[in-house]
Amino acid sequence: MRIELTRFRVQAGKKQQVDEWMDFLRSNMEAVQETLEPEQMYVETIFSETIEGVDYLYWYSVQGEDGIELHESSHWLDAKHTEFWESCIDSAFAPVDLTEQLTMMPTRVLDSMRPLT
């Protein structure tokens, strides 16, 4: 299982487009959920923050080891995700992976995080 928290910088002037993308995801949760199983994505949460006028998005995820990557998916939503990413995420800013120190969860929750067979 991989647990990650990564910060990405949003391109200047793209905050409205990011907000629209978040609203789109909220409105299309059924399609979002269709993409989670092939990715072995057990939890995916997106946070936002503005620091000194610069917008950032943080992706927190708990994922199995053998899930497909975004670029391997043929799901229409993942194609739109790639378009959003290329349009809004600042590729000149290296993503920042925060360091996991400790994960705590009940055994029953941990045991339930297995790919469907």
Q: Is 21 exposed, middle or buried (0-12, 13-18, 19+ CB in 10 A)?
A: buried
Q: Which amino acid is at 106?
A: P
Query: Domain extents for the chain?
Result: 2-112
58 or 64, higher pLDDT: 58
Domain 2-112: assigned CATH number:
3.30.70.100
pLDDT digits (tens, 9 = 90+) for 67-92: 878 888 889 999 999 999 999 999 99
- Cα 72–chain centre separation: 15
pTM attached to this predicted model: 0.88
Q: Which amino acid is at 76?
A: W
Integer CA distances (angstroms), 27 to 1, 88, 113, in order: 29, 20, 26
pLDDT band at 117 (very low <50, low <70, confident <90, very high): low
